[in-house]
């Protein structure tokens, strides 16, 4: 696969402006990234800027804490698809997972996947807050619910992706899902290491530097 197509070109800060989102989209088109990953309020801007390209808008749902109700996440996901999102990155309910309530976690992921249909669903498990056993369970829950990807991190918690976590996640999901590494992929060495470990998508705000 072309190197640039591994990249979800990302801008999720609360203080991101319209001008910055437009610049993000222009860079994504220029460098032929896979997606721009943005908050849902910028979908209309992204659609306008990406028109005519094969770069697609990806949005985050239940971001960054994952502690919203399932109903709120489902509504947010449906609304985003209706407004033009092609991929959805959702955050699991981390507290429910840590409580051992896998049925809740799986059901929530499944409802969101059903709400968005054939569109790509990536499940953010926030590895930095989980034990090894919890990471494995989160990946298994995601696969059981029909998710397309498991994703390491929001980039807004205590740490981002590690090579070890990507390997563990890939070993857990096998060929039943793909892995996205996000948070802390800052240079060419990081990028290559994540791909070698099994990541098939990279979420980063440094996409241009990685390609250059």
Measured CA to CA in angstroms, residue 175 lies from 169, 172, 200 at distances of 11, 9, 12
What's the rounded Cα separation, in Å, for the pair 9 and 156? 16
55 and 34 in contact (C-beta within 8 Å)?
yes
Q: Which one is catalytic: 86, 151, 170, 178?
A: 151
Q: Are 166 and 140 contacting, i.e. CB atoms less than 8 angstroms apart?
A: no
Q: Which of 180, 182, 175, 191 is nearest to 153 (CA)?
A: 182
Which residues does 10 contact at the CB level (< 8 Å), separation at least 6? 36, 37, 38, 155, 182, 203, 204, 205, 207
Residue appearing with tokens 């910028």? 42
> Annotated catalytic residue: which of 8, 34, 73, 89?
89
190 is a catalytic site residue: no
* 209 is annotated as an active-site residue: no
Q: What is the DSSP letter of 155?
A: S
- Other CB atoms within 10 A of residue 180 CB: 27
Is position 73 annotated as part of the catalytic site? no
Catalytic residue among 73, 135, 170, 180: 180
Give me the residue label for tokens 């989980």.
130
Tokens of residue 4, six digits:
């640039």
Q: Which residues are catalytic?
A: 89, 151, 180
């Amino acid at each position: 696969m072309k190197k640039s197509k591994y990249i979800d070109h990302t801008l999720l800060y609360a203080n991101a402006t319209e001008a910055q989102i437009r610049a993000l989209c222009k860079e994504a088109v220029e460098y032929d990234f896979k997606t721009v990953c943005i908050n849902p309020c910028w979908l209309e801007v992204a659609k306008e800027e990406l028109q005519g390209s094969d770069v697609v808008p990806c949005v985050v749902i239940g971001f960054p804490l994952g502690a919203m109700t399932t109903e709120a996440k489902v509504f947010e996901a449906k609304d985003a698809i209706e407004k033009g999102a092609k991929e959805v990155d959702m955050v699991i309910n981390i507290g429910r997972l840590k409580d051992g309530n896998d049925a809740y976690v799986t059901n929530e992921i499944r409802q969101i996947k059903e709400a968005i249909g054939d569109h790509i669903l990536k499940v953010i498990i926030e590895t930095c807050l989980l034990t090894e056993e919890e990471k494995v369970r989160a990946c298994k829950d995601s696969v059981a619910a029909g998710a397309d990807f498991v994703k390491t991190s929001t980039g807004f918690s205590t740490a981002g992706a590690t090579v070890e976590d990507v390997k563990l996640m890939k070993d857990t999901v096998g060929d039943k899902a793909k892995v996205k590494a996000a948070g802390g992929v800052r240079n060419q060495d990081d990028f290559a290491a994540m791909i070698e470990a099994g990541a098939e998508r990279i979420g980063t705000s440094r996409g241009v530097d990685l390609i250059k």
